[in-house]
Structure formats: C-alpha cells, structure tokens
Structure 1
Amino acid sequence: MVQRYSQLCPVAFGAGAVSTTGDVAKELGFNRVLIVTDENVKKMGHTQKVVDSLTAAGMETFLFADCEMDAPDYTVQTGADLVKTHAIDGIVGIGGGSVLDTAKGISTLAANHVSVSELLDSARNMMPLENPPIKLILIPTTSGTGSESTIIAVISDTKNHEKIGAIAPPSFAIVDPELTLGMPKEITVYTGMDAFSHVCEALTSVQPNPHSDILCYDTIERITKWLPIAAADPLNLEARENLALASNNAGIAFNDAMVHLGHAIAHAMGATFHIPHGIACALVTPVILELTAPVYPEKVKKIGTCMGLTISATDPQEIGIDVANGLRQFQKQLGIPTLPDLTISREQILGCTNYVANEGLRFLCPVPATEERIAASLAKIYDCYQ
C-alpha cells in the first residue's frame, strides 16, 4: 500500500521562539495584524511579547482578546468582522486550543463572503469555500491540542449545540515551551492527556502511516515520562519542552492519520456537558484502545510498552484490556476526574449516543461504530472507573 505523509506548515520550536513572531510575520508579508487571544493569556504577559515583536518588525497591531472556551461561533464572527473593518492582512493566534481554533475560524471566515452559520454548514456538508484563509501564525500556550499544526478548526455551533470541524490550515506555528511554564496542574494534565488521545487514535485509525506512527510512539513515551513531572513541578523547563514537542508532534501525526471515534465521543461530551476537552479525551481513550486492539494488537501492545507497562497477554482482546487498565491507573495517579466526580450519570452519558452516531469522525474508526457499539463504549466510560 502506498501511503502519503506531510507536514502542514513550518514550525519554529524552542525556548524564546515567541520573540521571532515579527520575523515570521515579515516573511509571510504581514502589515496589519490581528492578534487573537483571551484575557488570561493577556494577563500573563504572553500577548504583549507578540505585540512587541510585531511592532519591532514595523507592523500595525490590533488586539482581539475575547476568545472563549470551545470557540463559539459568535466569537469567530466578531473576530472576522474586525478583520474586515481594519483591513487586516495577517492573523496571529496565541493561547490554548480554543483560542487557536477561534483564530483559525476567523482566518477562514474573514476570507470568504459568508456568515459563520454558512461556514459551519459548508463544513458540515464538506463543501469547500471559495477563498483560502488569511495567512495565520499560531502560538500555543498549552501542550495538548496540537492545533497549531492541524488543518481543522473545531468551532461550537451554539444554535444546534454541536462542535463542527472547519477546514482552516495555519501558515506557520511557533512553539515556545517557556509560554507553558507555571501552568496549573489541572490544565497541564488535561491538555497532556488530550495529546495522548491524539496519538492513540492516529495509531488506530483506518488511515495510519509510518511517519505518523513514529511520532505517535515517541509522543507516548514523552508524555508518560514528563507529564507527572510537569504536574508536580510547574516550572520544570525540561518537562515543558518535552511536552510541547510531544503535543506538536501529536498534531502533525493526527493531521495525516486522523482521530476517530474517541474524538467523536469527546466532542459529544464537550458539547453536552461543557467539560474540558482533555478530560473527555482522557476518559474515552482506554475504551478506544480496548475496542481497536483486535484490529491492531501489536500497535496497542506497543502503546503499553511505550508507557512502561509489561504486557504478557497474546490474545488481542486481553492486550486491549491490559493496556486500557494501565492507562486508567496512570490517569488516576494524575487526578483525572471520573464521570461521577463530574456529576454526570450513566444515563446522561448514554444520552450522547445519537450525537456520536451523527459525528463524521466515527467513520474513521477501524471497528464499525454502530449505535450499539457507541452505546456500549459510552457505558464503559462510566462503568470502568467505578
């Protein structure tokens, strides 16, 4: 089988990389720049670093700091309106996954003569838009989503209570581990497990490739080793560097191989219960490994090996169970909350079945995601943490 792999955009990686934002923007031909961020990132001073770098490079900057969790559609619309009002020719997004998704959504929406609802409809129906996005630099301040290196912007359709993936490729990524120093334990853990879920699904999708596989296994080793260290010591730069690289590599990997049923479920949980995406991903990933082990027994076993687990089972189903339980134990040690901890009942999680059954990502699962199998997977998210 001939398989293709690629990297969506260039990446500048390393401590202090944010100071090169102006140089990168100049390379891309920016003159009037919209900086997309949120109030928390602004208060930490990270946004000002971007402003200073762009100003030193001779560019005019405009600030949009109203991003919200889960990238709601109305925020994307407001940002796109600003682009048109100020004749913006370049966008810089700096923040966590929701900020980066918002910036991506703005870059695509502002380049086309459509409303945000029309943008989401076109994405839902997989219809291309007329114009490519406005050039875009993305700078993550968490180590989880990998959105700075993926083609999809996940935007919340607030009218229909859905999360929709719109095509919005970035032009350049700047990954500066120093921006994640001091991140609270909870955010560190949730975002780290988000990246972990990306590679587990990329390894077990219907379209993996050797390039993605290499990045995925390396990511699992880095997260297993360094996430507990970063959670315990928020200022450990070596840990932050390893997690930043793991997150970026995970994004590059799943941009080719794609995620599947786990993210369909995580999107349903986020849209229904408004819980952090990383928590939803963490809770569903063991279920996905158990589900896909009969198709990819050697891969799932290697996932366990990369985690430092001793997997002696030879039966594919037993391999899946052993690795899934090992991952649950790892997450328990990190303090990942269970559904009961989040006051979500078994009945409520089963209520997500229809949402997941209508999510396109489920078709990338190597095991047919029937409604019965979806319901069984949702039940396990509740049952297996009791």
Structure 2
Amino acid sequence: MVQRYTQLCPVAFGAGAVSTTGDVAKELGFCKVLVVTDENVEKLGHIQKVVDSLVAAGIEMVLFNRSEMDAPDYSVQAGAALAKGEAVDGIIGIGGGSVLDTAKGISALAANDINVAEMLDYTRKMMPLANPSMKLILIPTTSGTGSESTFVAVISDTTTHEKIGVPSPPSFAIVDPELTLGMPKAITLYTGMDALSHVCEALTSIQPNPHSDVLCYDTIERIYKWLPVAADEPMNLEARENLALASNHAGIAFNDAMVHLGHAIAHSLGATYHIPHGVACALVTPVIIELTAPVYPDKIKKIGACMGLTVSSKEPQEIGLAVANHLRAFQKELGLPTFKELDLTREQILGCMSYVANEGLRFLCPVPVTEAVITESLGKLYDSYQ
C-alpha cells in the first residue's frame, strides 16, 4: 500500500517563540491582523507578547476576545464580521483548542460571502467553500488539541447541537512552551490526555502511515513520563516543553492518519452534556484500545510498552484488556473524574448512541461500527470506571 504523509504548515517551536509572531506575520505578508483569543488568555498577559511583537514589525491589529468553550457558531460569526469590517488580511489565534478552532472558523468564514449556518451546511454536504481560508497563524497556550497543525476547525452548531469539522488549514504554527507554565492541574491533565487519545486513534485508524506511527509512539512516551510531572509541578519548563512537543506531534500525526470512533463518542458527549473534550477523550481511549486490539494487536502491545507495560500474551483480546486497564489505572492515579463523579448516569451515556451513529468519524474505525458496537462501547465507557 502506498501511503502519503505531510506536515501541514511550518512550526516555530521553543521557549520564547511567541516573540517571533511579528516576524512570521511579516513573512506571510500581513499588514493588519485580527487577533483571536478569550478573556482568560488575555488576563494571563499572553496577548501583550503578541501585540508587542506585531508593533515591532509594524503590523496593525484588532482584538477579538469573545471566543468561548467548544467554539460556538455565534462566536465565529461575530469574529468574521469584525474581520470583514476591519478589512484585515490575516488572522492570529492564541489560546486553547476552542480559541484555535474559533480562529480557524473565522478565517474560513471571513473569506466567503456566507453566514456561519451556511458554512456549516456546506461542510455537512461535503461541498467546498468558494474561497480558501484567510492566512492564519495559530499559537496554542495548552498542550492538547494540536489544532495548530491540523486542517480542521471543530465548530459547535448551537441550533442542532452538533460539532462540525470545517476545513481551515493554518499557515504557520508557533508553539511556545512558556505559554503553558502555571497551567492549572485539571487543564494540564485534560489537555494531555486529549493528545494521548489523538495518537491512540491515529495508530488504529483505517489509514495509518509510518510517519504518523513514529510520532505517535514518541508522543505516548512523553505524555506518560511528563504529564504527572507537569500536573504536580506547574512551573517545570522541561515537562511543559515535552508536553508541548507531544501535543504538536500528535496533531501532525492525526492530521494524516485521522481519529475515529473515540472522537465520535467524545464529540457526542461534549455536544450533549458539555463535558470537557479532554475528559471525554481520556475516558473513551481504553475502550478504543480494547476494540481495535484484534485488528492491531502488535500496535496495542507497543502502546503498552511506551507506557512501561510488558504484555506477554499473544491473544489480541488479552493484549487489549491489559493495555486498556493499565491506561485506566494511570488515569485514576492522575485523578481524572469518572462519569459518575460528573453526575452522569449510564442511561445518559447510552443516550448518545444515535449521535455517534451519525458521526462521520466512526467510519474511520478499523472495526465495523454497528449500533450494537456503539451501545456496547458506551456501556463499557461507563462501567469500566466504577
């Protein structure tokens, strides 16, 4: 089988990289930009580093700080209206995954003469937009989604309560681990486990490739070693550097290999119950490991090895269960909440079945995903953490 692998955009990585924002914007030909963020990132002072760099490069800027969790459609609409009204020629997003998705959505919408509902409908029908997205620089302040290196923006349709993936590739990524120093423990854990879910699904999708595989295994090793350190020592720069690199590599990996059923389930839980995406991804990943072990037993065994687990069995089901349980124990040690602790019942989790059945990502799973498989997976998702 011939497989292709790519890197979507250049990445400037390292402590202090945010200070190069103006230089990168100049390289891309920007004269006036819309800086997309949220109020929390603004309060942390990260925006000022971007502003100072842009001013030094002689680039004008307009601030949009109304991004919200899960990138709702109305935020994208408001940001695009501002971008058009101010006649900007570039977009810069700085923040967590929801901010980066909002910036990506704005860059797509602002380049086209339609509203956000029409844009989401185009995506549902797999119809291309008339114009390509505006040029876009993305600067993550968390180490989870890897959105700075993926082609899709996940936007929440607040009318239908769906999460829709809108194509909007970034032009450049700036990954500065210093922006993640001091991140609260919960956010550190949720984002780190989000990145881990990306690589576990990328390794087990129907279209993995050797480039993604290499990045995936390295990502697992880094997260397993450094996530507990960063959670307990929020100012540990070495831990933050490793997690930032892991997150970026995970994004590059799944941009080619893609995620599958785990993210279909996580999207359903996030859209229905507004569970943090990283929590949903963390809890569903062991289920995906068990489900795909009969297809990829050697890969699942290697996932375990990257987490310090030696599995001697050659039986796929035993391999899957051993690695899944090892990951569940790791999550428990880290203190991730269960669905019961989130005040969700088994019936509520099972109630997401129809959403998952209509989520396109499920078709990228190597196991045929029937309604019975979805129901069994959702039940196991709840039962495994009692």
- TM-score (norm. length: structure 2): 1.00
Q: Does 2:236 correspond to 1:236?
A: yes
C-alpha distance in 2 between matches for 1:199 and 1:142: 17
C-alpha distance in 2 between matches for 1:147 and 1:338: 26
Partner of 1:172: 172
Partner of 2:290: 290
C-alpha distance in 2 between matches for 1:99 and 1:199: 22
Q: Percent identity?
A: 78
| 1:1-386 aligned within 5 A | 1-386=1-386
Runs of 5+ unmatched residues, structure 2 = none
C-alpha distance in 2 between matches for 1:44 and 1:385: 35
Deviation for aligned residue 1:300: 0.3
Deviation for aligned residue 1:125: 1.4
Q: Which amino acid aligns with 2:233?
A: D
Deviations 1:310-331 (A, max 9, x none): 2112100110000000000000
C-alpha distance in 2 between matches for 1:345 and 1:335: 20
C-alpha distance in 2 between matches for 1:235 and 1:313: 40
Aligned partner of residue 339 in structure 1, secondary structure? coil
C-alpha distance in 1 between matches for 2:324 and 2:123: 33
Deviation for aligned residue 1:124: 1.2
C-alpha distance in 2 between matches for 1:97 and 1:323: 28
- TM-score (norm. length: structure 1): 1.00
C-alpha distance in 2 between matches for 1:111 and 1:294: 45
Deviations 1:110-139 (A, max 9, x none): 001111001101111111111110000000
Aligned partner of residue 98 in structure 1, secondary structure? helix
C-alpha distance in 1 between matches for 2:167 and 2:150: 9
Deviations 1:20-52 (A, max 9, x none): 000000000000110000001000000111011
Deviations 1:53-79 (A, max 9, x none): 001100111000010000000000000
C-alpha distance in 2 between matches for 1:160 and 1:103: 21
Q: Which amino acid aligns with 1:86?
A: E
C-alpha distance in 2 between matches for 1:312 and 1:335: 28
Deviation for aligned residue 1:380: 0.5
Deviations 1:342-372 (A, max 9, x none): 0010000000000000000000000011111
Q: Which amino acid aligns with 2:168?
A: A
The alignment covers a number of residue pairs equal to 386
Runs of 5+ unmatched residues, structure 1 = none
Deviations 1:67-112 (A, max 9, x none): 0000000000000000110001011000000000000000000001
Aligned partner of residue 192 in structure 1, secondary structure? helix
Q: Which amino acid aligns with 2:368?
A: P
Aligned partner of residue 326 in structure 2, secondary structure? helix
C-alpha distance in 1 between matches for 2:337 and 2:102: 27
C-alpha distance in 2 between matches for 1:25 and 1:210: 33
Two-structure CA RMSD over aligned residues (Å): 0.4
C-alpha distance in 1 between matches for 2:55 and 2:77: 26
Q: Which amino acid aligns with 1:101?
A: D
C-alpha distance in 1 between matches for 2:268 and 2:336: 19
C-alpha distance in 2 between matches for 1:32 and 1:290: 50
C-alpha distance in 2 between matches for 1:30 and 1:265: 39
C-alpha distance in 2 between matches for 1:27 and 1:147: 21
Q: Which amino acid aligns with 1:52?
A: D
Deviation for aligned residue 1:306: 0.3
C-alpha distance in 2 between matches for 1:176 and 1:77: 28
